Homo-oligomer: A and B are copies of this chain.
């Protein structure tokens, strides 16, 4: 188990889908950051189930309780504990999978690793765990806001339906105007249709989320192992269902000649160092260069299907599994705040680490 992430701005999470609740301790947040419950709750509301008819009907209010670390509206430098009680538990929904190894789920691997598991709702492997990340990310976001850093993510593809524009060409303020969280309205409509098509077929669909961080100061990232993209990739690849991460020009950039891919430096009218293109994605040598950081994260289709599947049980016997329970046909819309949160946690941590290293 590794339930801790971060080096100086560090979170430790706990909780299962069907226990008392889930939570997180944030250790290392500097004193003096203004934090209101509403900041955290607003982030959680974007992740919680039941927010639209595109998502699972599981009803979780996901109400956060702040248990420590704040005094008179500000962080005190001591650990901040956030707790989110589980509300709408229906453990019997899962009795049919107590002994089954669901395809492309973590049932088998948890058994192989630990020898026992809490099967209810996937236990610790449930995506419900990500609520703790979102809550912690909201506080990291408050810290970053002090330094002017802005982070945004959006759904850039659902199945084969893709936004036809790059992030610079989009108005990211439109992301929250539709339930898919896609800032390109025409594509959002097609994405929504694609998700409903999957729902109707008792099937599921994956997609890609694009993330952008703006106004990140130059100097963040710790070579040679904790380069900015390496830590960011670690964070995003630790989210349930993620299968890939690329930043800047990514896989497509491997096809460009160096003479096109290189980002020429220039000094702008304010005297700031800038690059004419940004194939580097805001990181050179693993350190932020002050340009936009942008990246793409691949999410596989949800593994829980409301249709019969062949698999085995924990005795190795072949069985037919018929999906039940309350599930999303597509996690992408709800995963947007999770991608943002992990980005916030990474940048908050790298920001503190960069400061520690200066004479």
Contact = CB atoms under 8 A, between A and B. Distances in A.
Interface in A59-74: 65-69, 71, 74
Contact of A118 (B33, B71, B157, B300): B71
B224 A238 contact: yes
Given A79-B12, A226-B2, A298 B253 contact: yes
A58 interface: no
Interface string A221-263: 1111111011101110110101111111111011111110111
Given A249-B243, A303-B262, A225 B5 contact: yes
A68 B22 contact: yes
A30 B236 CA distance: 26
Contact of A1 (B27, B112, B207): B27
Contacts of A129: 224
A101 interface: yes
Interface residues of A, number: 151
Nearest to A77: B114
Contacts of A92: none
A-B pairs, 3 with minimum CB distance: A106-B285, A244-B246, A204-B258
B312 A104 contact: no
Contacts of A264: 103, 309-311
Given A30-B358, A246-B245, A355-B355, A254 B2 contact: no
Number of copies: 4
Interface stretch (A173-181, A183-191, A265-273): A265-273
A107 B344 CA distance: 26
A206 B316 contact: no
Nearest to A352: B356
A65 B10 CA distance: 24
Contacts of A27: 1-4, 12, 14
A258 B121 CA distance: 19
A199 to B, nearest CB: 11
A148 interface: no
Contact of A254 (B203, B257, B299): B299
A19 B67 contact: yes
28 contacts: A1-B79, A2-B223, A4-B10, A4-B225, A8-B356, A12-B27, A13-B79, A14-B27, A31-B115, A76-B124, A103-B264, A104-B280, A108-B289, A109-B289, A114-B357, A125-B285, A157-B254, A159-B255, A206-B256, A224-B238, A249-B300, A256-B301, A258-B301, A259-B305, A261-B301, A265-B311, A266-B310, A273-B316
Given A14-B81, A251-B298, 16 more contacts: A14-B67, A31-B114, A32-B114, A74-B116, A76-B114, A103-B263, A109-B283, A109-B286, A206-B255, A230-B233, A231-B234, A240-B285, A254-B300, A267-B312, A267-B318, A273-B312
